[in-house]
Amino acid sequence: MNIPDPVSLVWNSEESLDATLPDLKNIAVVYRIETHTGQVYLGRTNVLKRRITRLLGLRLETSRALSLRSLAIGVSYWPTASRLESSLLYYSLARAYFPDTYKKLVNLRFPSYVRLILSNEFPRTMITSQLRASGGISFGPFRNRASAEDFERATLDLFQLRRCQEDLEPSVDHPGCIYGEMNLCLRPCQSVVGVSEYHSEAMRVESFLRSNGESLIDSLETQRQRLSESMDFEEAARIHRRLERVQGVSRQRDSLATSMDHQFGIAVNRSAQLNTVELRFLWDGSWQDRVEFCLDVVEGRPVSLDKRLREVVDSLEKAAYALSLKQEH
């Protein structure tokens, strides 16, 4: 993400610094304090004047609060109008100035995902906080691990995929598990099914995740309609109960959770400009540079917002990021 030009303040004496401080305003910014040692102090605040005065202003010698007055040679700051803009700008600056420690500086914690591992001979699911480029599908993000585990458990209850984490060596002498006895697993460990039959079930799970549950919902609705038309109301009622269960599982996912190779969205935020909003596109899981979208009437004629938005999307220069950065976004 591109970093815009900041507002910069530089001084050559403490007297000029003290003359500069009263002109600051208490606005929301991300700021950077440069020191004569070459080190950088990075922060963000909603009250710029108060924060900079506390860090650089005069204070009692007995004060134990952090003071950069004797070290600082300049301040740069970027006004922000929303929490999202502040967070993304702070993250970008931290990556630029502290490449080895920026994750700790911004308290960057990776969310949990439900991953379907298709590279395994007998695919299974797992909970992970790391995205992978191939060999499966990652579904998320979830607010926490417990939420991801609940969704994984509910999803597996709809299918007959194995829940064990071991690399299977199928054998008729394998002891199996309780899920096989409950008919919640195809029991590949006991050679009850072959690789191709088991993969068919794994593909059903993949379709369920990629479509946010719609693949199974559509199939059940079709079955229910066909049974109702053939007057088999008892079987139709059974399918209806299963359909309600599937819809419940689909609703159980977190609001942002989806297949991570199809992660698109848009955030509409306040802007510092009058009659303008800031658009932030999440394109294929990566945040793009902000777009200022003016809401003023053009030349006295109303213009369709839908048309203008489509023009913005068509002209958007979409930046591609490595998987590691996409995960951070």
Whether 73 shows a pLDDT value over 60: the answer reads yes
Whether 296 shows a pLDDT value over 70: the answer reads yes
Residue 112 bridge partners (DSSP): 142
% of the chain beyond a pLDDT of 90? 60
The pTM for the full model equals 0.82
Higher-pLDDT residue of 296, 186: 186
Q: Which helix (H) or strand (E) holds 153?
A: helix 145-156
CA angle 318, 326, 212 (to 5 degrees): 90
Whether 275 shows a pLDDT value over 80: the answer reads yes
> Rounded to whole angstroms, how far apart are CA atoms 106 and 90?
8
The mean pLDDT of 43-57, rounded to a whole number, is 92
Q: pLDDT value at position 82? A: 92
Q: Which helix (H) or strand (E) holds 45?
A: strand 40-45
Whether 66 shows a pLDDT value over 70: the answer reads yes
> Rounded to whole angstroms, how far apart are CA atoms 94 and 289?
17
**Confidence band, pLDDT 50/70/90 cuts, at residue 31:** very high
> Rounded to whole angstroms, how far apart are CA atoms 174 and 172?
6
pLDDT in tens, 133-167: 888 999 999 999 999 999 999 999 999 999 998 88
> Rounded to whole angstroms, how far apart are CA atoms 134 and 72?
48
Q: pLDDT value at position 63? A: 65
Mean pLDDT for the chain? 90
User: Percentage helix, strand, coil, to 5, in the chain?
Assistant: 40, 20, 40
Whether 47 shows a pLDDT value over 90: the answer reads yes
Bond prior to 188 in cis (omega within 30° of 0):
no
Q: pLDDT value at position 241? A: 94
Q: Which residue has the tokens 């693949």?
A: 215
Whether 62 shows a pLDDT value over 60: the answer reads no
Q: How far is CA 208 from CA 115, 155, 233, in A?
A: 13, 9, 26
Q: pLDDT value at position 67? A: 82
Q: pLDDT value at position 298? A: 67
